[in-house]
Amino acid sequence: MSHFTRLRVKIADAQCLVSALATLGLEAEILHEPMFVRSYVGDNTAQKVNVILRREKMGGNCSDIGWMVQDGEAECHADEYHNSRIHALGGLQTFFKKVAQEYSVEVIKKQARASGQIATRVNDPKTGKVRVLVGC
C-alpha cells in the first residue's frame, strides 16, 4: 500500500523548482490546471499539484511526485515506498535536501541574471557542498 508523505517547503518559484529537478535528472512540468497525484498503480490520490514528476517518466515502480506551489510556499506529495528514483537518490530526506539545495542555486542564478550579473556554480566533491559565486 502507498504511503504519501506531505512536506511544506519555502518554494515560491515553480520554474526554479523545475530547473532544480532537471539538475537532478528529473523531468518535471508546470501544469496550467492542478491535477491529482497518481499512485504507483495509476490511481488518483486526494492530493492536487501544479508541478509534477510523472510516474511514466521516472521508470520502474514509481508513483507521481508533485508540488502545489502557491502563496510563497509549496506542499510536496511523495510516496517513498513506491518510488525507485527517490531510493536511487538516497531516500526521501536526502531527496528533499537535494531538491532544496538545487532550488536555492536556481533562485540565486535567476536573481543574478535579473541584475545583469553572472552566477557560477562551484561543487566541492569532498563535502558535496555547493557554492554559487556571483559577479559581473
CA–CA separation, 37 and 93 (whole Å): 20
- pLDDT tens-digit map of 55-112: 888 777 788 899 999 988 899 888 877 677 777 778 888 888 899 999 999 999 999 9
Q: What is the full DSSP assignment across 13-47?
A: -HHHHHHHHHHTT--EEEEEEEEEEE-TTS-EEEE
Cell 545583469 found at = 116
Instruction: Determine the angle formed by the axes of helices 92-114 and 14-23, rounding to 10 degrees.
Output: 120
What is the pTM (predicted TM-score) of this model? Answer: 0.86
Question: Which of 7-11, 39-43, 79-83, 101-105 shows the lowest per-residue confidence on average (mean pLDDT)?
Answer: 79-83
**C-alpha cell belonging to residue 133:** 559565486
